[in-house]
């Protein structure tokens, strides 16, 4: 009985004083008590030369295209890093600088190009849209449609209808 009373009392106290849970048990504003420091933005690629990044871009792009890594569902930048034996902290800024995008969007660009190639070969007559997307490396329909809209500015089904009309 005494333990349950203590737990109920502590619970009620915390309901009315939730800042205690976060270590902020004072009455004033946080800004009044803590001096906020201005932090200079960290330049992640500052230690890597621009020329080195461009060479790395070429190397990574050629490897991804030659090995068709983009067709592998669930490929990550860590997988690419292990394949090339180049640390992620070098690959990521290279892709960001050269292509002005992140790794996932960059890989999706290759997948959409593969989709176009398969459509030109007539795969849309043999496979469903989901089947083609899966063959291009997309793991689910939502990701495929989202990436397609971002890159092509249209939905895949509308895009196919337009191609069929021409």
Residues 42-88: pLDDT tens digits? 444 445 578 888 899 999 999 999 999 999 999 999 999 999 999 99
Contact 124, 135 (CB under 8 A): no
Q: How many CA atoms lie within 13 A of 40 on its CB side?
A: 3
Residue 67 lies in a domain: yes
Residue 77 lies in a domain: yes
Check residue 9 and give its pLDDT: 74
pLDDT at 37 over 50: no
129-137 own/partner pairs: CB under 8 Å, 24+ apart:
129/156, 129/157, 129/160, 134/73, 135/71, 136/70, 136/71, 136/111, 136/112, 137/70, 137/71, 137/72, 137/73, 137/75, 137/107, 137/110, 137/111
Whether the per-residue pLDDT at 17 is higher than 80: the answer is no
Q: pLDDT (tens digit, 9 = 90+) per residue, 119-157?
A: 999 888 898 999 999 999 999 999 999 999 999 999 999
17 within a domain of the structure (yes/no): no
Confidence of residue 101 (pLDDT cuts 50, 70, 90): very high
Asked whether residue 27 is domain-assigned, the answer is no
* Dihedral (Cα; 10, 15, 17, 18), 10-degree rounding: 110
Domain count, the chain: 1
CATH of the domain at 157: 1.10.10.60
Structural domain includes residue 124: yes
Q: Does the residue 165 lie in any domain?
A: yes
136 found inside a domain: yes
Q: Which domain holds residue 81?
A: 48-166
Residue 153 lies in a domain: yes
Contact between residue 159 and residue 152 where contact means Cβ atoms under 8 Å apart? yes
């Amino acid at each position: 009985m005494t333990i349950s009373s203590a737990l109920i009392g502590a619970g009620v106290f915390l309901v009315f004083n939730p800042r205690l849970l976060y270590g902020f048990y004072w009455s004033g504003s946080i800004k009044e008590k803590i001096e906020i420091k201005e932090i200079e933005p960290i330049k992640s690629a500052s230690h890597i030369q621009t020329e080195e990044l461009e060479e790395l871009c070429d190397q990574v792009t050629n490897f991804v295209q030659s090995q068709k890594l983009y067709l592998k569902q669930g490929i990550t930048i860590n997988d690419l890093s292990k394949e090339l034996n180049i640390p992620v902290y070098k690959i990521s800024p290279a892709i960001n600088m050269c292509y002005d995008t992140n790794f996932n969007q960059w890989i999706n660009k290759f997948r959409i190009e593969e989709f176009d190639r398969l459509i030109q070969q007539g795969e849309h007559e043999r496979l469903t849209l989901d089947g083609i997307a899966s063959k291009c490396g997309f793991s689910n329909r939502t990701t495929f449609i989202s990436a397609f809209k971002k890159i092509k500015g249209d939905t895949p089904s509308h895009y196919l209808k337009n191609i069929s009309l021409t």
